[in-house]
Amino acid sequence: MGSLEKSSPPRPGALPPQLGRWAPPGPAGAQPERGSVCGDWDGAGPRCLDEAWSRGGRVSLLTAAVWSFSREQAKLKASVVEEDTEEWQKDSSFAGLERVGGVDLSYIKGDDTSACASLVVLSYPALEVLYEDCQMVAVSAPYVAGFLAFREVPFLVEAVQRLQQEEPKLKPQVLLVDGNGLLHPRGFGVACHLGVLTDLPCIGVAKNLLQVDGLVRNELHREQIRSLQREGDTFPLTGTSGRVLGLVLRSYNNSSKPLYISVGHRVCLETAVRLVKSCCRYRIPEPIRQADIRSREYIRKQLCSPLEVISSEPESRKEEAEMDD
């Protein structure tokens, strides 16, 4: 994160200006109070502002960001719906579903502040691209483990809003998101965040296991993956809390690498897995795969350069996929 500390605490009613659009809304005085918990994170900084104040009277921007993000995340989490809400979801063949969206952010290798935000809409069940939107964006929000959505979701929300303004008839009926939903340290990953802000059904589709609630990539987990013999085979991700946080899906016969499916918003887990499976021509479901392909190509065209592009897996997201907090 570099040098993030200010020489004195922010004055009451104002978070550090470097947080910009990510500072929490509220009336004057909506400042983190001494003793307020900043959230469950990896111990790299103080867990509450009392600790920050005791370290020479300084509050880091990272501490303020965690407080801001935690506050907003908790507020949004209350709106998550973990069940089917649409008629097409109740049909075994998804009759009535005509448009499936996919979103992705691609980064230039070595630069985690320049990215391309991509939204595509595919027909269903043919999975042909009906709409695409790619925009270069400047990612300025600080990366904090467990709060990746605050870096990326604002740009994806803007893409959905542009679609609603320009081509409202092509609005997706569901979004597949490259990331996690309920499978998250606080049960509110990127797919939940995007779903709540757009009020669209959202499904989290991750390529790596996020180690939370006692879930670990140990030999038992690897053995369970080896037990997935055919595409469509699954096993549940049950945390030490006893809650099923997601399902592991073998999505493609030619790849033994599974996907980690979790509820984002307005969909149940069973429906989420069935839909992801039906959207897979390859390992990655086609809406996310097309968003990935098109965002990579957009960056190359914009830069007129064969620079290596990292799609959906900047260093920060790899780090989040591997953390265990």
Q: For the segment 194-228, what is each residue's pLDDT rounded down to a tens digit? A: 999 999 999 999 999 999 999 999 999 999 999 99
pTM of the model: 0.80
Q: For the segment 135-179, what is each residue's pLDDT rounded down to a tens digit? A: 999 998 878 888 999 999 999 999 999 999 999 999 999 999 999
State the pLDDT at residue 306.
58
Instruction: Say what percent of the chain tops pLDDT 90.
Output: 66
State the pLDDT at residue 7.
34
8 A C-beta contact, residue 63 and residue 44: no
The structure tokens listed for 231 are 């595409």
Q: For the segment 14-29, what is each residue's pLDDT rounded down to a tens digit? A: 333 334 344 333 443 3
Q: For the segment 265-308, what is each residue's pLDDT rounded down to a tens digit? A: 999 999 999 999 999 999 999 999 999 999 999 999 888 665 56
Better-predicted residue by pLDDT, 68 or 72: 72
End-to-end CA distance of the chain: 19
Nearest to 210 by CA among 178, 173, 174: 178
With a cut of 60, say whether residue 36 has pLDDT above it: no
Residue 286 sits at the vertex; the CA angle it makes with 130 and 322, to the nearest 5 degrees, is 135
The structure tokens listed for 89 are 């979801």
Largest CA distance in the chain: 62
With a cut of 60, say whether residue 112 has pLDDT above it: yes
With tokens 């978070």, the residue in question is 15
Nearest to 244 by CA among 315, 181, 166: 181
The structure tokens listed for 275 are 């839909």
